[in-house]
Amino acid sequence: MSLEVVIKQKLFGRKTMPLEVILGEDLYYGNYENDQLSVGEMGDGEILVYNPNRIGRGFSVVWTPDEKKSVSLRLLQPTTTRELKDFYAAVERMAKHWEGSLEVEGQKQSLEAFLASYQEMMEFNLKALKDFAGQVLDGTYDTLALYAAMWPMSMGKEEATLFLHNPHLFEEWLHEKQAMNVYHESPDFFMGEAGIVGRFILVNDLPAVFPDMPTVPMGLADPNTGKRPESIRWVVTVGIQEEKEPLCDMEYSEFLRLLPAEKKSKYDGGSFLLAELTEEEIRALANR
């Protein structure tokens, strides 16, 4: 679910929407691709905006520097209290800059009416968070994937229980996890002899987040059938950062079995954090 707002400029008095108006004093931006945010990069007609001091799920802005007609904003829900404030403030700044009109969820609305809906939206947001948590706890989902500003996050039963009784901790959890200096591992895909292969990379001296068990991503299609593949072979390519050639490829299940337990810790409901491995540890892992 999401909140969508379109800001339109009047026919006369055309002027662009500067990036600094979108961002204000506190926000930053990036381009979301391959399940990770490239900070400071522009997307193809769209950017993801977030608050680096309180990283949440971010909100998208469909915009180009020379745009003079309309700009669309989309906020995923549930989101955080701070992000909802940032979103409303951004809409207000942009609407006033253009002296423009609003469409909220496809319906025309005055800026005053939109701003007055803030408290109601806060209550809806809280309900959405509790609904999401409830769907995990009642078994509808084992884990619930949430697109966040830096990379996808997963809400498992532990997180769902926490948020159901302490909703304010949702904001703290999102920021704490995404502010960590880690690399979020996302696979690349290619055709192998027996079908699609999903490949992760493991190198030395780099703390990284890996999935507990990889899953077939939405939108991935088998080029031979045009359909979503029922299964994928998952592998991990092990290497040394300074060396061009990898040491080996191993099955994902073998990778999990061989990892030193003391190097692993829970990251979220569907992922673990792997502490940085030394070159010696990487070579030992590849040779087992």
Please report the pLDDT score of residue 12 as a whole number: 64
Same domain, 164 and 194: no
Task: Give per-10-residue mean pLDDT for the chain (288 aa).
Answer: 91 85 96 87 92 96 92 96 97 94 93 96 94 93 92 94 94 96 89 85 90 80 73 90 90 93 94 94 88
Same domain, 129 and 194: no
Same domain, 194 and 236: yes
Of the residues 146, 179, 212, the one at which a domain ends: 179
Same domain, 197 and 129: no
Same domain, 25 and 149: yes
Same domain, 217 and 280: yes
Query: Which residues form the domain of 269?
Result: 183-286
State pTM to two decimals: 0.88
* Largest interatomic CA distance in the chain: 70
Per the CB < 8 A criterion, the answer to whether 129 and 110 are in contact is no
**Residue 202 dihedral angles phi and psi, to the nearest 5°:** -125, 120
Encode 211-240: b = buried (16+ Cβ within 10 Å), e = exposed: bbebeeeeeeeeeeeeeebeebebbbbbbb
| Sign of the torsion angle spanned by Cα atoms 171, 175, 177, 183 | positive
Domains in the chain, number: 2
Same domain, 107 and 88: yes
Same domain, 240 and 265: yes
User: What is the DSSP code string of the chain?
Assistant: -EEEEEEE--SSS-----HHHHHTTT-EEEEEETTEEEET---SSEEEEE-TTS--S-EEEE--TT--SEEEEEEESS--HHHHHHHHHHHHHHHHHHT-EEEETTEEE-HHHHHHTHHHHHHHHHHHHHHHHHHHHTTS-SSEEEE-SSSEEEE-HHHHHHHHH-TTHHHHHHHHHHTSS-EE---EEEEETTEEEEEEEEETT--EEEESS--PPTT---TTTSS--S--EEEEEEE-TT-SS-SEEEEHHHHHHHS-GGGEEEEETTEEEEPPPPHHHHHHHHT-
Asked if residue 78 has a cis previous peptide bond (ω within 30° of 0), the answer is yes
Same domain, 99 and 190: no
Of the residues 149, 179, 209, the one at which a domain ends: 179
172's tokens? 């703290």
Same domain, 145 and 255: no
Of the candidates 189, 255, 191, the one whose C-alpha atom is nearest the C-alpha of residue 220 is: 189
